[in-house]
Amino acid sequence: MNRWQQRWGIVFAAMALSAQAPTHGAEKLNGGDRREPIFRDDEDRKRFLATLGEACAKTGWQVHALCLMPNHFHLVVETPQPNLVAGMKWLLGTSTSRFNRRHKLFGHLFSGRYKSLVVDGSGSGYLKSVCDYVHLNPARAKLVAADAALRSFGWSSWPAYLLAPSKRPTWLRVDRLLGEWGIRISTPS
């Protein structure tokens, strides 16, 4: 299968997975059990991002967009290998264990499973739409003041897009989204 025949997948929480093939990308949304917050403070968010970095290292995932909201997260990820299920199981299980250990809790952190919606990865503009949706979430939820720049929300990948490549997380891949916006860069990161 060549790179244009591979597909983008959209994955949402609390539903069953529909595809396990390698994909150019998947959006994952997962929310807190009983709609409770999954992040109590910035340290929880930092720990989640560190765990995501570990998941990317283990699976080869490349993140195109992410946003950490108070009671859920969005993640647009490229999965070069058919390891979405195993990777999500590890990410969510490890995140839950670490959260519970830190806060001396037990039980579920996330609500249910997630679902994959397969999306065409041929450069049709859908990646741009999905990443824009993820990056604009804080504005829609009024977590960013109407007169503030979107980059002021620090728990989204959007501010990292504005950084020099050497300052971005190694797992954040910006070339595809920027390419869909007509912005060409010379490095894949």
Q: Which residues are 12's β-sheet partners? A: 29, 115
Look at residues 22, 13, 14, 137 and name the one whose alpha carbon lies nearest to residue 68: 137
Residue whose C-alpha is closest to residue 119's, from 14, 20, 6, 30: 6
pLDDT at 18: 30
DSSP 3-state of 73: strand
CA neighbor of 128 nearest in space, from 11, 27, 55, 53: 27
Q: For residue range 31-72, what is the model confidence (pLDDT) as tens digits?
A: 554 567 889 999 999 999 999 999 999 999 989 999 999 988
Measured CA to CA, the distance from residue 62 to residue 49 in angstroms comes to 13
Confidence of residue 177 (pLDDT cuts 50, 70, 90): confident
Section 116-142 average pLDDT: 81
In single-letter form, the type of residue at position 174 comes to: V
pLDDT band per the 50, 70, 90 thresholds, residue 8: very low
Question: What tens digit of pLDDT does each residue of 86-105 get?
Answer: 998 999 999 999 999 999 99
Q: What is the pTM of this model?
A: 0.81
Kindly indicate whether the domain formed by 7-180 is annotated with CATH number 2.40.50.140. Answer: no
Candidates 10, 9, 102, 85; CA nearest to 48 is: 102
**Nearby residues of 33 by Cβ (< 8 Å), 6 or more positions away:** 107, 108, 109, 110, 111
Least confident of 26-35, 100-109, 115-124: 26-35
Mean pLDDT, rounded, for 134-161: 94
Domains of the chain, residue spans: 7-180
Top-confidence range, 20-29, 87-96, 112-121: 87-96
Spatial neighbors of 36 by CB under 8 A, at least 6 apart, are 71
